[in-house]
A = this chain, B = another copy of it.
Amino acid sequence: MKPTVHDIAKIAGVSLATVDRVLNGRPGVRSITRSKVEEAIAALGYVRDLAAANLAKSRTYSFVFILPENDNSFMIGLREEVRGAISRSSAERTHIRIADVPPFDPEALVAALEKAIADKPAGVSFVALDAPEVQAAARRVTAAGIPIVTLVSDLPDSPRDHYAGIDNIAAGRTAGSLMGRFLSGREATVAVLAGSMLVRDHRERLEGFSAAIGEAFPGIHILPVLEGRDDPALAETMISDALRRHPDMAGIYSLGAGNRGLIRAIRKADVPKRPVVIAHELTVSTRAALADGIIDAVLNQDAGHEVRSAIRVLKAKADGLPVLAAQERIRIDIFLKDNLP
């Protein structure tokens, strides 16, 4: 039989309450008593039954998820996943609040973090913006003893406990390699469509893409980045223009959102040969374009996995437990039309 607190109490010759105090590092135990209990714990190889403990405490983990009110499919999907987690709250002993913030607004994010601190939740998860004031706010969250998991976009040089998202440099490199291979390393001109170079993810993807191309495919020439602000209409205009100016354009890497516009531009384009297109995030539109052969590959991060992982990690951190690294690694999914889920 698995040892319980009773066994410890018996062996150490103390009461349940004292065992509990030692187990939970609460004060008010003579060090001599404490060590007797600790010996018994070690001798028995005791491991606490978290479920029973949570039952006794009628514990629910309260978390705050701070999400940007972005209207692209990916962010909408991410929010949907958090809602899904909320609907499973009772079974998972969680209480999750979604805090909405305007996109790309560090001030608003800081305010939301302050509000979260006031709530004293068991954990906070947010889509980070790479700004000093956000880092400072994150430090305050940590100082308040609240675990942090950054979601989708990381906050380096901050004390966040975990990042639930992909390695964007690696994603960019992957896109670069695929582009190079699909173009067979021949002389070619490729365009890059980004949302904004102010966003860290986009900068990193571009960095990885350029590096991979530069190292292995010297014949490929990358045009200056087009910043489409993740806006379909703007993306459409920019890509149409670019295709007109460079009718020989052999490839397009779309590393941000707004792919609906990109897809429209390509469908309408009057070019001898469709360019190789690699985009990010599997959405209704990119999926359809992949199936139709308009897009050649889609790199994806699984929003559901990210949200579930963030919750698991926050729980573990709240309980001071280790996480299963392999389970929490967010993959860079590569989808061709052949392996669509």
Contact = CB atoms under 8 A, between A and B. Distances in A.
A31 interface: no
Given A55-B55, A329-B341, 9 more contacts: A47-B90, A47-B91, A170-B338, A177-B337, A178-B336, A181-B182, A184-B184, A304-B327, A331-B341
Interface in A90-132: 90-91, 93
A286 interface: no
B55 A336 contact: no
Interface in A166-225: 167, 170-171, 173-174, 176-178, 181-182, 184, 208, 212
B308 A327 contact: yes
Interface residues on A, range: 35 or more
Interface string A317-341: 0000000001101011110111101
Interface of A: 2, 47, 49-52, 54-55, 90-91, 93, 167, 170-171, 173-174, 176-178, 181-182, 184, 208, 212, 296, 304-305, 308, 326-327, 329, 331-334, 336-339, 341
Contacts of A181: 181-182, 296
